[in-house]
Amino acid sequence: MSGPGTRPVVVVTRSAEQSEGLASRLREAGYDIVEVPVISIVDAADGGAALGAALARLESYDWLVLTSPNGAQR
């Protein structure tokens, strides 16, 4: 999405609440930014009960995989 005499364009797909830091750094580096949030970060519907139950038997698992900082915090 760039051509002669134009700045490169980067599409930032982070959630609307979390995109500004990355978008600002990319703008400062000379990129044009298009923000298209493709996810929304929400708390678990059960208030974290399922996670709490799983953590209570953590020793029964072979692996613990955290897919993102948001997943680890919620």
pLDDT at 4 over 60: no
Q: How far is CA 2 from the centre of its chain?
A: 25
pLDDT at 23 over 80: yes
Give 26-71 pLDDT, tens digit per residue.
999 999 999 999 998 888 899 989 989 999 999 999 998 888 888 8
Q: What is the pLDDT of residue 69?
A: 86
